[in-house]
Structure 1
Amino acid sequence: MPPTAGLGTDEATATVPAGVELDVVAPQDAALADAVVVEVPAPAAGRLARLRDRLSRSGSPLGTRLLAVLSRDHLSEDDWDELEETLLLADVGAGPSGELIEALRTRVRVEGLKDPAHVRALLRAQLLELVDPTLDRELRTAPTVAPDGTRTPAVVLVVGVNGTGKTTTIGKLARLLVAEDRSVVLGAADTFRAAAADQLETWGSRVGVPTVRSEREGADPASVAFEAVRTGKQADVDVVVVDTAGRLQNKSGLMDELGKITRVITKEAPLTEVLLVLDATTGQNGLQQARVFGEVAGVTGIVLTKLDGTAKGGIVVAVQRELGVPVKLVGLGEGPDDLAPFDAEAFVDGLLQ
């Protein structure tokens, strides 16, 4: 790929600002070829089973406490208050917590609490309804094909504040896509954090995925995003995944930055996904972040990191209600293949193991 410096700055013509050097850093480059052995990611099929297993082994406080209260011989008003408090402490949210308590009250009044298996089945049904298995959780990563056979890659924009594991999540997403036999290009458009591009490049090189980046810290993020999409089109890949800066100090600034990135990208290809990465352990802070990004970024799906072993499992319900979009992926741990498609039934079953 020739250098892109020296081109104009007009967004309407989707060009790259003068003075910005952008390189496609591909695994076959000599320096990387000597240092990196391309890994084979774990297949996607086994990841849902690991989700259920990890949640069950973590001994989720949410499921354990709810079952303990519902298993009592007689449920007093204090018991119902304890149930609601447990839900609120797990970040389910006031509205959904009230709905669940009311539904449980009704079913207990009609059916009674017959035995532990019945209690578990009753609670499972109501939790599953809250998590909502009917939501469309498909990750749209298939390229579009024009009538003349021309392919345009799917473009996934990933947003979220720094510290949520956003860049690491993109690296894991690349591995998941490679495991599904998709070809990928990464775009390191978080140009304000010195280590972000290096980190993304390292993740990509481990699975043979090229990274488009600028060598200059603070370069125009929209330029990098544009170049990543253009590179993906020229290479005829399936998916381009673009990292972004996670700065929330100025809402209008964030809106301007993400708006520019979106405008520039869509000159080359439509955005198929805007994924918001949230740390599941941050509770109400995570919801506040979700509100801001929901307003400025047109979020289509949520990625929850650090979901295993947390009392904050209720954030799944709360954030879906807040944004009106589904949780599509969940991070289950520190391993490189610990990112899985979210499955409502596996999640609820894991809570109740």
Structure 2
Amino acid sequence: MTDETEKKPGFFSRLFGREQPAPASEPAAEPSAAAEALAPETEAVPESIPAVGPGGFRLPETPSPFAEEAPAAEPAGGRRSWWTRLKEGLSRSSSAIGGGITDIFTKRKLDADTLEELEDILVQADLGVDVSSRIVEAVGKGRYGKDIAPEEVKQILAAEVERALAPVARPLVIDATKKPFVILMVGVNGSGKTTTIGKLAAKFRREGKSLMLAAGDTFRAAAIEQLKVWGDRTGAPVVSRPQGADAAGLAFDALTQAREAETDVLLIDTAGRLQNRAELMAELEKIVRVIRKMDASAPHAVLLVLDATVGQNALSQAEIFGKIAGVTGLVMTKLDGTARGGILVALAAKFGLPVHFIGVGEGVDDLEPFEARDFARAIAGLE
């Protein structure tokens, strides 16, 4: 697979036949397959889920064995807005892009050199070569040889990013005719699958849907216990087996029980696995195969949970998990200020997979439906 960071000729280089050297890419630390496969996930379960189920049923508030300290006090005036949290989550990307734009376009006229420098910044921010080229072309159109303010460049950037993301900003729709509606969660170790399941379970419960959770990460005992905590929080039964049990067999049991209970939604966790480990991916393929023997249309949604801090590696994950499990949508997690959020733009341009949710923290309310305009303005550093 071609590395997305590979520098293609810039827009004005292609126009004038002039090539600039590729920007130095930030080396990505690649852990060994064995180390990542064995590394424990460090997902946290919030202290409580302030939710009320159907008919006024208040969800349990069992103390979490995973919480090691009390949650931070809320700021004066109440909980910070989603927009504030999103901006903070994308601060690494927006600072790099915004600072670069200010440096380039302050007291300089727009020419081939400034546009080349702009494209370098955008590619290094993981927006992808194609989208970066489109942004550079839009900035240069009708402005060559003129002054242009950094704020105007940011406005153009936001508009082009929104245009790239708008087609993939689609909600996760639960088909009520599919009972249960089976959602399979996949991703590498530490991406946040189990926590995301808990957040989705709380969301569906608030919508009045009946739930069942399947602890398909039989590799880690902690993952099984963690999902049980989420089950207690949301009032959802959890189907589990001892550590080391066959994950495909557990999926079979869970689907059987969910059918018998006429459950609305079945959320199936899976073990974190490297996309380049053939034996682990074969196990995931077996889970999908077993589910489809029971229901040819299932799983009805396969959500790939991506850690926003991994940058370009997310492209490889999307490609391989898509081939093995038939990924139908993405959830981007860990937009926590260290994220390389631009990669979501490159993913949209390359694969066109729906982006259903983004997460900016460990709290149950820190997972929200993806909005292209908000994301675009946040990454451009606009209010």
Q: TM-score range by the shorter chain?
A: 0.7 to 0.9
Letter in 2 for 1:279: D
Q: Which one of 42, 53, 61 corresponds to residue 37 of structure 1?
A: 61
Structure 2 counterpart of 1:187, one-letter code = A
Which range moved further: 255-264 or 186-195?
255-264
Decide whether aligned partners of structure 1 residues 305 and 158 sit closer, same or farther in structure 2, where only a CA change above 3 A counts: same
Cα shift at 1:177:
1.6
1:278 is displaced (CA, Å) by: 0.9
175-184 or 51-60, larger mean C-alpha shift: 51-60
Secondary structure of 2:158's partner? helix
1:320 matches 2:348:
yes
Instruction: Tell me how far apart the structure 2 counterparts of residues 309 and 159 of structure 1 sit (CA, whole Å).
Output: 24
Residues 117, 211 of structure 1: CA spacing in aligned structure 2 closer, same or farther, 3 A cutoff?
Answer: same
Cα distance change of structure 1 residues 198 and 79 upon mapping to structure 2, 3 Å threshold: same
Q: Distance in 2 between matches of 1:250 and 1:345?
A: 34
Paired residues for 1:88-167 under 5 Å: 88-106=123-141, 108-109=143-144, 118-131=152-165, 133-135=166-168, 137-144=170-177, 152-167=179-194
Bigger mean CA deviation after superposition, 272-281 or 73-82: 73-82
Q: Does 1:300 align with 2:331?
A: no
TM-score (norm 1): 0.77
8 Å contact kept, 2:214–2:266: yes
2:263 is matched with which residue: 233, 237, 255?
237
- Return the TM-score normalized by structure 2: 0.71
- Find the aligned partners of 1:182 and 1:67 in 2 and give their Cα distance: 47
Between the aligned partners of 2:98 and 2:300, the Cα distance in structure 1 is 39
Q: Provide Cα deviations, 1:122-158, integer angstroms capped at 9, x if missing partner.
A: 3321121122x123612132331xxxxxx62211101
Q: What is the distance in 1 between the residues matched to 2:282 and 2:82?
A: 37
Residue 343 of structure 1: how far off its partner (Å): 0.8
The verdict on how the C-alpha distance between 1:121 and 1:285 changes in structure 2, with shifts beyond 3 A counting, is: closer
1:121 and 1:93, CA in 2 relative to 1: closer, same or farther beyond 3 A?
A: closer
In structure 2, C-alpha distance between the alignment counterparts of 1:134 and 1:334, rounded to whole Å = 28
User: What is the aligned partner in structure 1 of residue 85 from structure 2?
Assistant: 54
Looking at secondary structure, tell me which structure has more helix per residue.
Answer: 1
Letter matched to residue 170 of structure 1: I
**Within 5 Å, which residues of 2 pair with 1:118-267?**
118-131=152-165, 133-135=166-168, 137-144=170-177, 152-214=179-241, 216-248=242-274, 251-267=277-293
Deviation of 1:300 after TM superposition, in Å, equals 0.7
Q: 1:300 & 1:66 partners in 2: Cα distance?
A: 35
Q: Equivalent residue of 1:152, what SS?
A: coil
For 1:159 and 1:36, locate their aligned partners in 2 and report how far apart those are by CA, in whole Å.
27
Please state whether the residue corresponding to 1:304 is helix, strand or coil: strand
Does structure 2 conserve the Cα–Cα contact (< 8 Å) formed by 1:62 and 1:313? no
Q: Deviations over 1:218-276 (max 9, x none)?
A: 11101111111222222222111101112227643234222221122123332211000
Distance in 2 between the 1:79 and 1:344 partners?
A: 27
Closer, same or farther: CA 323–124 of 1 in aligned 2, 3 Å? closer
The counterpart of 1:65, out of the listed 64, 78, 99, is 99
Distance 1:107 1:301, change over 3 A: farther
In 1, are the aligned partners of 2:105 and 2:114 still within 8 Å (CA)? no
Alpha-carbon contact 2:179-2:259 (below 8 Å) kept: yes
Aligned length: 301
Kindly report the root-mean-square deviation, in angstroms, between the aligned alpha carbons of the 2 structures.
2.7
Q: CA deviation at 1:333?
A: 1.0
Distance 2:339 2:198 in 1: 26
Q: Report which stretch shifted further, 101-110 or 294-303.
A: 101-110
User: In 2, Cα distance between the equivalents of 1:54 and 1:249?
Assistant: 30
Q: Which one-letter code corresponds to 1:130 in the other structure?
A: A
**Kept after mapping to 1: 8 A contact 2:275/2:316:** no
| Equivalent residue letter for 2:182 | V
Task: Note the C-alpha offset of 1:169.
Answer: 1.3
**CA deviation profile, 1:311-335 (whole Å, cap 9, x unmatched):** 5111111222333312211111121
The letter for the 2-side match of 1:317 is V
Paired residue type of 1:295: K
Alpha carbons of structure 1 residues 120 and 287: separation in structure 2 relative to 1, 3 Å: closer
Q: Which runs of 5+ in 2 are unaligned?
A: 1-58, 64-79
Which position in structure 1 is the counterpart of 2:302? 274
Deviation at 1:69, TM superposition (A): 5.1
Aligned partners of 2:278, 2:268: CA distance in 1, in Å? 21
The equivalent position to 1:341 in structure 2, one of 348, 352, 369, is 369
Contact 1:174 1:184 in 2 (8 A): yes
CA distance in structure 2 between the aligned counterparts of 1:245 and 1:155, rounded to whole angstroms: 17
Question: Which segments of 5 or more consecutive residues in structure 1 lack a partner in the other structure?
Answer: 1-34, 40-48, 145-150
| Whole-angstrom CA distance in 1 between matches of 2:60 and 2:236 | 12
Distance 1:238 1:171 in 2: 16
Q: Does the CA contact (< 8 Å) of 1:175 and 1:337 recur in 2?
A: no
In the alignment, is the contact (CA less than 8 A) between 1:254 and 1:296 conserved in 2?
no
Deviations 1:273-294 (A, max 9, x none): 1000111011122222222212
